[in-house]
């Protein structure tokens, strides 16, 4: 049976939004490199601290005319204040409603009123993005507790059963009911005030305990604040959330992003998340993931499409847990297998390839390790041992002989192509093949490389990359089995 959370995420990621910021072409900016950024119905931004994630979320607000009142500043009217640095530039923005597309060129150096006026008379004229950030919660907390009056509120809403279940999974708190009042504070500022009944059996008391915002931790306040914000937005809003993992224990981060996704699906909102959390990143497929990096030449921000999960993990400092051990006969077989995984862009994070010192040792070790529940284990033998493979735990490299002979056979059949790749005459390749003809197979490539006058590692890489297209089907099937 399919996990309902998986079904929800699949629906969120594949269902068109009523309104979508689809494409941003950024130019003439000192903060952002010239580039085109594509966004999806749900997109996650990964990257190291200072990589530009928050800056990009501020950019999304500024293009519709928002005045950014806290760092990082983008197109803010406060750019004239002494000591304030702000991000400028021009952004050609393409937005979509159904099949209609609309493009506007926004100059971030213009005032908030001018940027907003650029959308007048269009179907995007009232599209203010909603940015939800724990930093604003923390910065406004002192003002909030000084100004709030629980008797002065606007709307009042009670959590649904689904929301109560989500809060229990996120915070580990079981409530019989949660009521949220929208308090009317100074000026036009609103804030939530939470009144929750904690179930008695969860707190070893006879009567339910009333818990309000005045005694809640920052983590609790942040979760309720986010749910409150997501309920206030109009349908089809562009919602950005900066580091939803803020103030939360690790075990609460995945259920929190699940609840955010459920709320976004309910309101048909475009969702853009910036995060460092592995649990939150794991909910987004790589096609919906962008990385924010600083260009080493000038320090400007680039938003790029990662090629693999390993690239994302490296950028945010996540070391992949070991999940698969692959035992091979020797070091050369390990080299060939790594090239195979790389050639088909398999996710090699969490895979360790171990030379076992022979086919019998590889089979014996795999037989022992396959009994563990925490690791996947395979033995991958040279292709001349294919008869010993069972298609489950024991597999074979592509071809029909040991990998050294496979590569030299390729050089024998295509000497001109190998010569061109190595920068040597074809006759030099032919004479090198003759020189290693009667050498034991484990020494053949070394003899070949010395005869050609090229480093053996370079020769090996060239021969493997030339040979792999000939065995592409077998190579892809093997990589799919290992990468799982």
Reported confidence tier of residue 152, pLDDT bands at 50, 70, 90? low
Of 143, 138, 167, 145, nearest to 215 by C-alpha is 145
Please state, rounded to an integer, the average pLDDT across all residues of the chain.
Answer: 86
* Residue percentage of the chain with pLDDT more than 90: 45
pLDDT at 368 over 70: yes
Least confident span in 18-32, 56-70, 302-316: 302-316
Q: pLDDT at position 362, please?
A: 92
pTM: 0.71
Of 283, 315, 347, the last residue of a domain is 315
Average pLDDT over residues 453-472: 88
Q: Is residue 481 part of a domain?
A: no
**Nearby residues of 324 by Cβ (< 8 Å), 6 or more positions away:** 350, 351, 352, 375, 376, 377, 378, 482, 483, 484
**Nearby residues of 353 by Cβ (< 8 Å), 6 or more positions away:** 326, 328, 334, 337, 338
The answer on 435 and 353 residing in a single domain is no
pLDDT at 180 over 80: yes
Q: Which residues pair with 379 in a beta bridge?
A: 327, 394
Q: Is residue 480 part of a domain?
A: no
Q: pLDDT at position 270, please?
A: 95
- Most confident segment among 139-148, 191-200, 268-277, 318-327: 268-277
The answer on 107 and 44 residing in a single domain is yes
Domain containing residue 278: 4-129+237-315
Reported confidence tier of residue 389, pLDDT bands at 50, 70, 90? very high
Locate 456 and state its tokens: 């053996």
Quote the number of domains for the chain: 4
pLDDT at 185 over 80: no
Q: Is residue 418 part of a domain?
A: yes
The answer on 124 and 52 residing in a single domain is yes
- In this structure, are residues 466 and 482 in contact, taking their beta carbons and an 8 Å threshold? no
Of 231, 255, 235, nearest to 244 by C-alpha is 255
The answer on 85 and 22 residing in a single domain is yes
The answer on 123 and 102 residing in a single domain is yes
Phi, psi of 380 (to 5 degrees): -120, 110
pLDDT at 313 over 90: no
Q: Is residue 229 part of a domain?
A: no
Reported confidence tier of residue 187, pLDDT bands at 50, 70, 90? low
Q: Are strands 289-294 and 42-46 parallel, antiparallel or unpaired?
A: parallel
Q: Which residues pair with 26 in a beta bridge?
A: 35, 91
Q: Is residue 228 part of a domain?
A: no
Q: pLDDT at position 8, please?
A: 84
Instruction: Tell me the CATH number at 13.
Output: 3.40.50.300
CA angle at 368 for the pair 366 and 372, rounded to the nearest 5°:
100
The answer on 142 and 125 residing in a single domain is no
* Residue pLDDT, tens place only, 95-151: 999 889 999 999 998 988 999 999 999 998 887 788 888 877 766 666 666 666 666
Distance CA 178, CA 210 (A): 10
Q: pLDDT at position 279, please?
A: 87
Average pLDDT over residues 303-332: 80
- In this structure, are residues 320 and 327 in contact, taking their beta carbons and an 8 Å threshold? no
Distance CA 130, CA 123 (A): 18
Which contacts of 143-147 are long-range, i.e. CB under 8 A and separated by 24 or more positions? 143/185, 143/186, 144/185, 144/191, 145/214, 147/185, 147/186
Q: Is residue 483 part of a domain?
A: no
* Residue pLDDT, tens place only, 67-97: 877 778 887 665 556 666 788 899 999 999 9
Average pLDDT over residues 314-329: 78
The answer on 424 and 392 residing in a single domain is no
Q: pLDDT at position 203, please?
A: 57
Q: Is residue 345 part of a domain?
A: yes
The answer on 27 and 123 residing in a single domain is yes
pLDDT at 43 over 90: yes
Of 401, 422, 446, the last residue of a domain is 401
Q: pLDDT at position 1, please?
A: 47
Of 167, 193, 223, the last residue of a domain is 223
Reported confidence tier of residue 259, pLDDT bands at 50, 70, 90? very high
The answer on 445 and 353 residing in a single domain is no
The answer on 249 and 113 residing in a single domain is yes
* Residue pLDDT, tens place only, 206-233: 567 888 888 888 899 999 999 999 999 9
Question: CA 41 from chain center: how many Å?
Answer: 15
Residue 115's CB: how many other CB atoms inside 10 A? 22
Identify whether 72 is preceded by a cis peptide bond (ω within 30 of 0).
yes
Average pLDDT over residues 419-428: 90
**Nearby residues of 456 by Cβ (< 8 Å), 6 or more positions away:** 445, 446, 449, 450
The answer on 117 and 38 residing in a single domain is yes
The answer on 179 and 44 residing in a single domain is no
Reported confidence tier of residue 267, pLDDT bands at 50, 70, 90? very high
Least confident span in 42-51, 73-82, 332-341, 363-372: 73-82
Q: Is residue 253 part of a domain?
A: yes
pLDDT at 202 over 80: no
Least confident span in 95-104, 289-298, 438-447: 438-447
Of 463, 477, 473, nearest to 404 by C-alpha is 463
* Residue percentage of the chain with pLDDT more than 70: 89
DSSP code of residue 386:
G
Reported confidence tier of residue 397, pLDDT bands at 50, 70, 90? very high
Q: pLDDT at position 122, please?
A: 93
* Residue pLDDT, tens place only, 1-40: 456 777 888 888 888 889 999 999 999 999 999 999 999 9
């Amino acid at each position: 049976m399919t996990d309902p959370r998986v079904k929800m995420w699949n629906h969120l990621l594949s269902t068109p939004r009523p309104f979508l910021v689809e494409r941003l072409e950024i130019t003439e900016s000192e903060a952002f490199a010239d580039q085109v950024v594509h966004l999806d119905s749900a997109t996650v931004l990964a990257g190291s601290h200072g990589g530009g994630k928050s800056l990009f979320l501020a950019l999304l607000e500024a293009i519709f005319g928002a005045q950014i009142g806290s760092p990082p500043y983008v197109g803010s009217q406060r750019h004239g204040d002494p000591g304030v640095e702000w991000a400028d530039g021009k952004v050609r923005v393409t937005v979509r409603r159904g099949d209609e597309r609309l493009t506007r060129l926004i100059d971030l150096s213009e005032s908030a009123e001018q940027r907003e006026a650029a959308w007048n008379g269009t179907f995007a004229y009232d599209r203010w993005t909603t940015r939800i950030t724990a930093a604003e919660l923390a910065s406004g907390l002192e003002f909030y507790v000084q100004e709030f009056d629980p008797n002065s509120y606007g709307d009042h809403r009670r959590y649904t059963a689904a929301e109560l279940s989500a809060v229990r999974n996120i915070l580990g708190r079981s409530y019989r009911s949660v009521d949220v009042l929208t308090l009317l504070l100074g000026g036009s500022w609103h804030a939530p005030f939470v009144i929750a009944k904690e179930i008695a059996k969860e707190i070893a008391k006879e009567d339910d305990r009333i818990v309000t915002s005045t005694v809640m931790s920052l983590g609790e306040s942040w979760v309720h604040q986010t749910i409150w914000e997501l309920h206030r937005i109009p349908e089809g809003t562009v919602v950005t959330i900066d580091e939803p993992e803020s103030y939360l224990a690790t075990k609460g981060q995945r259920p929190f992003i699940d609840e955010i996704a459920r709320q976004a699906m309910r309101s048909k909102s475009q969702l853009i998340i910036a995060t460092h959390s592995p649990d939150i990143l794991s909910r987004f497929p790589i096609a919906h993931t962008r990385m924010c990096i600083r260009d080493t030449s000038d320090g400007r921000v680039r938003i790029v499409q990662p090629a693999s999960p390993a690239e994302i993990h490296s950028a945010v400092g996540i070391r992949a847990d070991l999940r698969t051990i692959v035992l091979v006969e020797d070091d050369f077989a390990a080299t060939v297998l790594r090239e195979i995984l790389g050639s088909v862009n398999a996710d090699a994070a969490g895979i360790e390839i171990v030379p076992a010192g022979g086919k019998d040792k590889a089979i014996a070790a795999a037989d022992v390790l396959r009994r563990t529940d925490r690791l996947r284990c395979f033995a991958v033998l040279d292709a001349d041992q294919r008869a010993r493979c069972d298609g489950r735990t024991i597999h074979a490299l592509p071809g029909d002989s040991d990998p050294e002979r496979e590569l030299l056979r390729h050089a024998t059949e295509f000497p001109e192509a190998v010569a061109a790749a190595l920068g040597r005459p074809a006759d030099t390749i032919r004479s090198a093949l003759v020189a290693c003809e009667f050498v034991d197979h484990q020494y053949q490539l070394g003899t070949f490389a010395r005869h050609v006058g090229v480093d053996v590692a370079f020769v090996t890489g060239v021969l493997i990359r030339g040979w792999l297209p000939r065995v592409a089907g077998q190579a892809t099937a093997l990589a799919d089995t290992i990468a799982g």
